[in-house]
Amino acid sequence: MSDDKKAGEYVVIRHRPGYRLRRSLILLSFSIISAVLGYTVGTAEDDFRFSSLTETRQYLKTELESLREQHTGMQQKLINLERGRTIDGQALNQARRAIASLETTIAELESDLTFYKNIMAPSETSKGLQVDRFTVSPSRSKGEFGFKLVLIQVGNNKSYISGVVAVNVIGTRDGEKEVVALRDLSEDIDDLGVKFRFRYFQDVEGRLAVPEGFDPLEVQVVARAQGKKSTQAERTFDWRRLMEN
């Protein structure tokens, strides 16, 4: 076949009227549908997110109110417990003071009971005139003390017993032993021997002042009964123990 014949060949193309227009409309429709779907999905997601945030906010708000109520309730309980503990502490302190007071009263009553028992129902070895006790108590003034001497008659109390009792304070001054009569230490005592007369017991009370430079060690008490019941009773008290009681 010649070159002229090849140059004269033709290509046959099928003619379809409206094809391009339909394709354009399809593409446009697809684009519109995609946009609408995208908007719809996005809106739905936004609605879901907004709804979730709203519900979460409302839940947290409710929880916060509940926690606030619980906190207020716990604060009130704490206040009540503190008040109760304070009241319990005050009641406990009052009870302790009352118990201490009762124990002191009981001790005093027991001491008095023993005292009277010794007078009314003595043992065979302790009868007649006795030096029961000698006590001292510090005062506000330095070197000054209150004192109390108790004499008792044990056993036969049908008649009175009388006589004199002498009290001496034994101590040291400048390293030397010294004996000082109670009369020289107390303005309440005028004589070396204090007179007594009683059936059951007698107290001798007053105040004494320890001279500066004098160091008391012991208190010596000597009581002498006169007449038919002539007897003598002696007793020595340690000064340090007197200070401890």
Q: What is the 3-state secondary structure (H, E, C) of 24-77?
A: HHHHHHHHHHHHHHHHHHHHHHHHHHHHHHHHHHHHHHHHHHHHHHHHHHHHHH
Tell me which of 108 and 38 has the higher pLDDT.
108
CATH number of the structural domain spanning residue 184: 2.60.40.1400
Tell which of 90, 121, 152 closes a domain: 121
pTM metric for this prediction: 0.54
Angle ∠(81,83,89) on CA atoms, nearest 5: 100
Tell me which of 217 and 113 has the higher pLDDT.
217
pLDDT recorded at residue 154: 83
pLDDT category of residue 8 using cuts at 50, 70 and 90: low
For the record, the structure tokens of 118 come out as 């010794």
pLDDT recorded at residue 191: 86
Same domain assignment for residues 221 and 130: yes
Round the average pLDDT of the chain to a whole number and report it: 77
Please answer whether residues 152 and 165 qualify as being in contact, where contact means their C-beta atoms are separated by less than 8 angstroms: no
Same domain assignment for residues 92 and 39: yes
pLDDT category of residue 186 using cuts at 50, 70 and 90: very high
CA 92 to mean position of chain CA atoms: 9
Residue whose entry in the numeric block shows the structure tokens 């004499």: 151
Range of the domain at 82: 18-121
For 110-140, how does the pLDDT look when each residue is reduced to its tens digit (9 = 90+)? Answer: 777 776 666 665 555 567 888 989 999 998 8
Same domain assignment for residues 142 and 209: yes
Tell which of 121, 141, 167 closes a domain: 121
For 156-172, how does the pLDDT look when each residue is reduced to its tens digit (9 = 90+)? Answer: 778 899 999 999 999 99
Residue whose entry in the numeric block shows the structure tokens 């506000």: 140
The four Cα atoms 175, 180, 186, 191 give a dihedral, to 10 degrees, of: -170
Does residue 51 lie in a domain region?
A: yes
Same domain assignment for residues 135 and 235: yes
pLDDT recorded at residue 52: 59
Dist. CA 204–CA 190, nearest whole Å? 13
pLDDT recorded at residue 195: 93
pLDDT above 70: percentage of residues in the chain: 71
pLDDT recorded at residue 33: 53
For 59-98, how does the pLDDT look when each residue is reduced to its tens digit (9 = 90+)? Answer: 677 777 777 777 777 777 778 777 777 777 777 788 778 8
Q: Where do runs of H (alpha helix) occur along 121-193?
A: 182-185
Same domain assignment for residues 107 and 170: no
Tell which of 96, 121, 146 closes a domain: 121
